[in-house]
Chains A and B, each alone.
Chain A
Amino acid sequence: MTHGEPLLQVRDLVQEFVVRDRGGVKGGVVQAVSGVSFDIQAGETLGIVGETGSGKSTLARSVLQAPRPKSGSVTFRGTDLVTLRGTRLLQVRRHLQMVFQDPFGSLDPKWRVRDIVAEPLVAYRTGDRAARRDRVDQVLELVGLDPAAHGGRHPRELSGGQAQRVAIARAVALSPALIVCDEAVSSLDVLIQAQVLNLFERLRAELGLSYLFIAHDLALVKQVSDRVAVMYLGKLCEVGPGDSVYRQPLHPYTRALLDSIPSTDPAATRAASTIKGELPSPIHPPSGCRFRTRCPRAAELCAAEEPQMRELATGHSVACHFPLAGTEGAVSAASTTARSAEK
Chain B
Amino acid sequence: MSDALLEVDDLHVTFAGRGRELRAVDGVSYRVYPGQTLAIVGESGSGKTVSCRAVMGLLPQAAVVTGSARFQGLQLIGLAEDRMRQHRGADVAMVFQDPTRSLNPTMRVGAQIAEAVRTHRQVGRAQSREEAVELLRLVHIPLPERRCQEYPHQLSGGMRQRIMIAIALASRPRLLIADEATTALDVTTQAQIMDLLLELQAELGMALMLISHDLGLAASYADEVIVMYAGRIVEQAPARRLFTHVRMPYTQALFEAIPRLDRPAHSPLPVIGGRPPDLAALPPGCSFAPRCRNAADDCRAAAPPLTEQEPGHRWACWHPVDAYAGGSGGVVPPGYGGAA
Are B216 and A264 interface neighbours, CB within 8 A? yes
- Provide the bound-state CA to CA distance between A224 and B263, in Å: 10
Q: Digit string of B155-198 for contact with A (CB within 8 Å is 1, else 0)?
A: 01111000000000000000000000000001111111011000
Residues in chain B near residue A275, CB distance under 8 A:
188
Does B98 sit within 8 A of A, measured CB to CB?
no
Residues in chain A near residue B214, CB distance under 8 A:
190, 262
Residues in chain B near residue A270, CB distance under 8 A:
220
Are B243 and A265 interface neighbours, CB within 8 A? yes
Known A-B contacts A191-B271, A256-B188, A265-B219; A220 and B259 likewise in contact (beta carbons under 8 Å): yes
Are A279 and B254 interface neighbours, CB within 8 A? no
Are B258 and A219 interface neighbours, CB within 8 A? yes
Interface class of chain A by DSSP: helix
Does B266 sit within 8 A of A, measured CB to CB?
yes
Which of B18-26, B109-117, B294-302, B330-338 faces chain A? B330-338
- Provide the bound-state CA to CA distance between A285 and B215, in Å: 36
Are B337 and A190 interface neighbours, CB within 8 A? no
Residues in chain A near residue B195, CB distance under 8 A:
274
Are A263 and B216 interface neighbours, CB within 8 A? yes
A186 to chain B, nearest CB (A): 10
- Provide the bound-state CA to CA distance between A177 and B221, in Å: 42
Does B204 sit within 8 A of A, measured CB to CB?
no
Are A262 and B269 interface neighbours, CB within 8 A? no
Does B257 sit within 8 A of A, measured CB to CB?
yes
Are B338 and A51 interface neighbours, CB within 8 A? no
Does A195 sit within 8 A of B, measured CB to CB?
yes
Are A264 and B186 interface neighbours, CB within 8 A? no
Are B156 and A264 interface neighbours, CB within 8 A? no
- Provide the bound-state CA to CA distance between A220 and B259, in Å: 5
> Closest chain B residue to A258 by CB distance?
B261
Residues in chain B near residue A222, CB distance under 8 A:
259, 261, 265
Known A-B contacts A191-B257, A260-B187, A274-B188; A265 and B265 likewise in contact (beta carbons under 8 Å): no
- Provide the bound-state CA to CA distance between A274 and B191, in Å: 7
- Provide the bound-state CA to CA distance between A221 and B90, in Å: 42
Are B257 and A201 interface neighbours, CB within 8 A? no
Residues in chain A near residue B186, CB distance under 8 A:
51-52, 216
Are B187 and A198 interface neighbours, CB within 8 A? no
Are A279 and B156 interface neighbours, CB within 8 A? yes
Does A223 sit within 8 A of B, measured CB to CB?
yes
Contact-residue bracket for chain B: 35 or more
Please tell me which one of the listed residues A204, A266, A279 contacts residue B243 in the complex, with CB atoms under 8 A apart: A266
Are B215 and A190 interface neighbours, CB within 8 A? yes
Does B213 sit within 8 A of A, measured CB to CB?
yes
Residues in chain A near residue B44, CB distance under 8 A:
160, 189
Does B253 sit within 8 A of A, measured CB to CB?
yes
Q: Digit string of B202-215 for contact with A (CB within 8 Å is 1, else 0)?
A: 00000000000111
> Closest chain A residue to B255 by CB distance?
A264
Residues in chain A near residue B5, CB distance under 8 A:
none
Does A257 sit within 8 A of B, measured CB to CB?
yes
Does A299 sit within 8 A of B, measured CB to CB?
no
Does A104 sit within 8 A of B, measured CB to CB?
no
Known A-B contacts A189-B213, A191-B257; A226 and B265 likewise in contact (beta carbons under 8 Å): yes
Known A-B contacts A263-B337, A264-B336, A266-B243; A190 and B260 likewise in contact (beta carbons under 8 Å): no
> Closest chain A residue to B263 by CB distance?
A223
Within 8 A of A (CB), among B206-262: 213-217, 219-221, 239-240, 243-244, 253-262
Residues in chain A near residue B243, CB distance under 8 A:
264-267
- Provide the bound-state CA to CA distance between A50 and B268, in Å: 24
Please tell me which one of the listed residues B216, B269, B273 contacts residue A223 in the complex, with CB atoms under 8 A apart: B269
Residues in chain A near residue B275, CB distance under 8 A:
159, 161, 192
Known A-B contacts A222-B259, A225-B265; A266 and B240 likewise in contact (beta carbons under 8 Å): yes
- Provide the bound-state CA to CA distance between A161 and B44, in Å: 12
Are B269 and A197 interface neighbours, CB within 8 A? yes
Residues in chain B near residue A263, CB distance under 8 A:
216, 219-220, 337-338
Does A128 sit within 8 A of B, measured CB to CB?
no
Q: Digit string of B259-301 for contact with A (CB within 8 Å is 1, else 0)?
A: 1111111111111110100000000000000000000000000
Are A260 and B190 interface neighbours, CB within 8 A? yes
- Most A CB atoms within 10 A — which of B157, B255, B257? B257
> Closest chain A residue to B155 by CB distance?
A278
Known A-B contacts A262-B217, A265-B219; A190 and B261 likewise in contact (beta carbons under 8 Å): no
Does A236 sit within 8 A of B, measured CB to CB?
no
A52 to chain B, nearest CB (A): 5
- Provide the bound-state CA to CA distance between A263 and B187, in Å: 12
B270 to chain A, nearest CB (A): 8
Does A194 sit within 8 A of B, measured CB to CB?
yes
Are A190 and B221 interface neighbours, CB within 8 A? no
Residues in chain A near residue B264, CB distance under 8 A:
243
Residues in chain B near residue A224, CB distance under 8 A:
265-266
- Provide the bound-state CA to CA distance between A161 and B257, in Å: 15
27 interchain pairs (CB within 8 A)?
A: A52-B186, A161-B275, A189-B44, A191-B254, A191-B272, A194-B257, A194-B269, A216-B187, A220-B259, A222-B259, A223-B260, A223-B266, A225-B265, A246-B261, A256-B188, A257-B187, A260-B187, A261-B216, A263-B219, A264-B219, A264-B255, A265-B336, A267-B240, A267-B243, A267-B338, A270-B220, A278-B158
The 8 closest A-B pairs by CB, nearest first: A262-B220, A264-B337, A194-B257, A51-B186, A260-B191, A223-B259, A194-B269, A189-B43
**Extra 16 A-B pairs, beta carbons < 8 Å, given A189-B44, A225-B265:** A52-B186, A190-B214, A190-B254, A192-B275, A194-B257, A194-B270, A217-B187, A262-B220, A263-B338, A264-B216, A264-B243, A264-B260, A264-B337, A265-B336, A266-B219, A266-B239
